Amino acid sequence: MIELPRLGIGTAPLGGLFTEVGEQDAAATVQAAARAGITFFDTAPRYGHGLAERRLGRFLPEAGITEPVISTKTGWLLKPAAGAGGPGTGGPGTGGTEVVPDWSERGIRESLESSLERLGRSRVDVLYLHDPDDFPDEVRRTAYPAVRRLRDEGLVGAIGFGMNHSGPLAAYVAEFEVDVVLIAGRLSLLDHDALDELLPLCSRTGTAVVVGGVFNTGLLADPRPDAMFHYKPVPPQVLARARRCAAICAEFGVPPAAAAIRFPLLHPAVASVVVGCRSADEVARNVEAYNWEIPDQLWERLAGEGFVPRDMADSQSGSTETGSAQRAVPRAE
């Protein structure tokens, strides 16, 4: 059994997602997390072609975080690119590498070993199979048995799947014994897709759920016309919904980011929320949002306009847990 803090930091921004982040800003981000008492970090080899993992490996000890909770991912290997500037190099900061899928047992193990080297650790707490949407046969034959063996060997504490689409993720949970899953962008005030099948299934199986993408690529934190939604330009009707949500929150003096971060935690299957941060200021603002006192009446209003399911608003509104609270994740047997 492992303990997952209720709030964690997603490190895709530290790998340069959308905009490059300098070394000083990356270090300051981790230091701000340490000051706030955050010890949970989600990363992946694909985040900046290993850059996010390397930065965690350097900056966590410098920040005094000696016992972090780390989740990383596997299923994709970093390989030397065909040539400078060739396909798959990923642009500046990728070190001339490309990302290639490899779901073989050897590939899964090599990916983890490389991650552990970059992180400077002997094990990680959670290992996800990363975006295996198009590889069900490979997952069944080699990848899932490989991560189970890695867990049995003690190199990882828990295993699961990390994906952006809840339907395929639910199918994997139904087929395999899974400790924990990471769903990104599909459990938010604007997108309830994970509630249709995935979360009820995880409640039945005892699978812990970690939720990322609670701002839907930043839209819920700042609903501007040039904002993104699911990594694409926001459609006008979605922008209007985000602005309506923000207006309702404003009536109660609550930042929309606070409602966005806390919403997934109303569901009993959800163990944690991870939010991407690229600066110390973003860490501070997200921690403040997480700790904001949200009145029950706001959840009721949001439920009345379809932003929150009625049963979630009624059952667990008014949660006052802090960022240091933890949820046990039982291992599947």
- What residues are annotated to the active site? 47
Tokens matching residue 233: 């330009």
How far CA 325 is from CA of 28, 69, 273, 328, in Å, comes to 23, 13, 12, 10
Tokens matching residue 189: 């005030």
Is 323 within 8 Å of 36 (Cβ atoms)? Answer: yes
Tokens matching residue 149: 């063996």
Angstrom distance (rounded) from CA 83 to CA 6: 43
Residues 6 or more apart whose CB falls under 8 angstroms from that of 238 comprise: 190, 219, 229
CA within 13 Å, CB half, 218: 17
Q: Which residue in 234, 236, 249, 271 sits closest to 71, CA to CA?
A: 271
